[in-house]
Amino acid sequence: MPDRRFTAEEVDAAVAALQADPERFGHAQEVVTHAAPGLQRILTEALQEGGWFGEAHEKQVLQVTAVEDPNDRLVAVRTLVAEETRIGMLVGVAVGLQLARELDKGAPPS
């Protein structure tokens, strides 16, 4: 079975469905909890290969911690954390989509 491609409308509808019924996450949370160690390794490798960690990350951390004004430093740290969270989320979603495809390969035909 070839990989299915999704339209923007299908993705929007799926996101809306998830927002409307948080209980839909129940099984997904169980799967992710079970797979967490392996998924964490995949996420770490993807972030490193994408250049989001390593020297660039260390440079950002040093810049943020070097800000002298405490209020400015707090804003800089919050911004860095938010940016890293977004990147982790985006890579994590990509890994999740591929994981779903891999799981789908073993699913019996419906």
Report whether 60 contacts 80 (CB < 8 A).
yes
pLDDT digit string (tens) for the chain, length 110 residues: 456 788 999 889 888 888 888 787 788 788 888 888 988 898 888 888 887 778 888 899 999 999 999 999 999 999 999 998 998 888 888 888 888 888 878 766 65
What is the pTM for the complete model shown?
0.66
